[in-house]
Amino acid sequence: MDEIREQAQEVFHDVFGDTDLVLRDDMTADDVDGWDSTAHINLIVALEKHFGVKFAMAEISRMKDEDQNVGGLLQLIAKKLGRSG
Amino acid sequence: MSVTSVEFIFLLLVCGAFFFQLPGRRSRLAAFSVANALVLALLIPNLASLAALSVFLLSGYGVAMLLARRPSSLLLTGYLAALVATFLVLKRYEFIGLVLPMSLIQHPIDIIGLSYMLFRQIHFLVDAMQGQIEGGTLPAYLNYQLNLFGILSGPIQRFQDFHEFWQTPQPLLKDRHELLKAILRINLGVLKLAAIGAMCFYAYDVSSSTLEQVARGFIVEMPMSRKLIYFAIMFYALPAHMYFNFSGYCDIVIGGALLLGIRMPENFDQPYLARNMIDYWNRFHRSLSHWIRDYIFMPLYKSAVERTPTLAEPLSILFMFVALFLAGVWHGSTLNWVAFGMLNGIGVATAKLWELLIVRARGRQGLKTYMKSSGVRLAAIAVNLNFACLTYLFFPTDMARTFRILNAMVGGSWPS
């Protein structure tokens, strides 16, 4: 999981242009400057490319919900890669 | 029966009080299904409508099950095209007369809530194909589509959220305080819809009728200052009516659903405090705008990012326009909705363009500073409020009347 977090953090740095960004499980879209609908898709496409996974539209939209956070996103990636959290 | 009637509220409270006295999942789901069927029976005017609704829903379920077993973009696209075409005919969209015989839309079919069923059906189909639907049995699907708390005007619930209730119909309200809050919300909804919303509509009706009399020459002399007062009342009262009416309705159905253990999505979050039209649509009729975001904007934009990354940013502005334009047109079958959709599309596209220009000129940090400025925020809210109200000039279906009034305001005469 730590490896996934590190790699995801690099993707976040590229997408949001902020190398100071440190991913926390409880972080939500509201905590990251510029995480709007277009940035969300840029992030999803970058994560899909980096990890070689594919997200369903329901998963992509669910990530934007108020009760969702980065921890859930990392777990979803881990699940798709067949690794336990 | 109106949702604000004493009978409806009484029935809601009685059902809420006894629903969880029923033993076990099956009896609760059976009671819920019977309630949905009774509401449907009240809404369906004739057998032709019932037959059309059955084909509409059952074909969607059948295709979704096929897609879940064997995903096929071709089948999904073909079915969606047929579904939307059927919807346009059933809803009697005027422009159909431009390409097809008008007799096609002269039918006796009238299905209340069909627009919302279309949204839920598209969501169900797409998610089924992508393996995101669990427990999608026919009874679950039909009750999801005909859920009495969403059948009339939403909110648009996801199947996955409805399925939580369908799987385990248990009380959501933990204690007496939460129960009282839900009942208070229902009462507040009645107050907003039946009293405040109705008063706003009365103010709109009186002011717009007076201005129309001026436009038609029935009132010959009216000072400009008085005309402006009437216009201001008309301009702000209709959006206020829309908010109190619709959010009041949502309070009633969301509160009522909670009594039966169903969590419907929230639909409003202080929309007239939005700072731009993108923000506005994240606060007004949120379940609709989230559906548009998830099933129109995001697939279009994702495809652009994957195929033409360098063009994705400018294309995002176009996609926002298209998404909101379609949302406007969806509201109704007459030409005024095209104007309403265009204005909303222009509003969100302009907001996105403005943001991109700030980022380009001042960088992300500059945008952050801009967003944090309270002066900018206040000005943005004021501008956006007036733009949102402007779009509502095209909410009434009689566009000629709207233009007569606008013409009278600039002192012109309207040919009688």
Domains in chain A, number: 1
Any chain A CB within 8 A of the CB of B321? Answer: no
Quickly state the pLDDT bin for B414 (edges 50, 70, 90).
Answer: low
Instruction: Please name the residues in contact with A75: beta carbons below 8 A apart, sequence gap of 6 or more.
Output: A85
For chain B, the first-to-last Cα distance in angstroms comes to 40
Q: Report the candidate in A49, A58, A60 with the shortest Cα–Cα distance to residue A11.
A: A49
Mean pLDDT, rounded, for B29-48: 94
Q: Among residues of chain A, what percentage have pLDDT more than 90?
A: 61
Domains in chain B, number: 3
Asked whether residue B416 carries a pLDDT value surpassing 50, the answer given is no
Last residue in a domain, options B138, B167, B196:
B167
Asked whether residue B149 carries a pLDDT value surpassing 70, the answer given is yes
Last residue in a domain, options B226, B259, B292:
B259
Highest-scoring range by mean pLDDT, B56-65, B146-155, B400-409? B56-65
Complex-level ipTM: 0.91
Domain assignment present for B2: no
Return d(Cα B406, Cα B400) in angstroms, integer.
Answer: 10
Q: What is the DSSP letter of A35?
A: -
Whether residue B233 sits in one domain with residue B153 = no
The CATH number assigned to the domain holding A9 equals: 1.10.1200.10
Q: In B, which residues are within 8 Å of A41 by CB distance?
A: 298, 301-302, 305
Any chain A CB within 8 A of the CB of B165? Answer: no
Return d(Cα B144, Cα B142) in angstroms, integer.
Answer: 5
Domain assignment present for A85: no
Domain assignment present for A73: yes
Asked whether residue A12 carries a pLDDT value surpassing 50, the answer given is yes
A35, closest residue in chain B (CA to CA): B364
**What does each C-alpha distance from B84 to A63, A77, B259, B330 come to in angstroms?**
28, 35, 35, 11
pLDDT at B101: 83
The Cα of A14 is separated from the nearest Cα of chain B by a number of Å equal to 13
pLDDT at A37: 87
Whether residue B203 sits in one domain with residue B155 = no
Domain assignment present for A51: yes
Domain assignment present for A60: yes
Angle at B39 between CA B36 and CA B43, to 5 degrees: 135
Decide if A56 and B127 are in contact by the 8 Å CB cutoff. yes
What are the b/e assignments for B225-255, b being 16+ CB within 10 Å? eebeebbebbbbbbbbbbbbbbbbbbbbbbb
Whether residue B28 sits in one domain with residue B132 = yes
Domain assignment present for B87: yes
pLDDT at B2: 74
Among the listed ranges B29-33, B69-73, B97-101, B181-185, which one has the minimum average pLDDT value? Answer: B97-101
A-proximal residues of B, 344-363, CB under 8 Å: 352
Any chain A CB within 8 A of the CB of B299? Answer: yes
pTM metric for this prediction: 0.90
Return d(Cα B330, Cα B144) in angstroms, integer.
Answer: 21
pLDDT averaged over chain B?
92
The Cα of A54 is separated from the nearest Cα of chain B by a number of Å equal to 10
Tell me if residue B337 falls in helix, strand or coil.
helix
pLDDT at B201: 97
Cβ neighbour number for residue B383 with a 10 Å cutoff: 12
Q: Extract the tokens encoding A34.
A: 């510029």
Domain range for A22 is 2-80
Any chain B CB within 8 A of the CB of A19? Answer: no
Domain range for B320 is 271-409
Asked whether residue A57 carries a pLDDT value surpassing 50, the answer given is yes
- Digit-coded pLDDT (tens) for B259-285: 999 999 999 999 999 999 999 999 999
Any chain B CB within 8 A of the CB of A53? Answer: no
Contact B217, B413 (CB under 8 A): yes
Whether residue B180 sits in one domain with residue B220 = yes
Return d(Cα B337, Cα B345) in angstroms, integer.
Answer: 12
Decide if A45 and B305 are in contact by the 8 Å CB cutoff. yes
Domain assignment present for A63: yes
Last residue in a domain, options B211, B238, B259:
B259
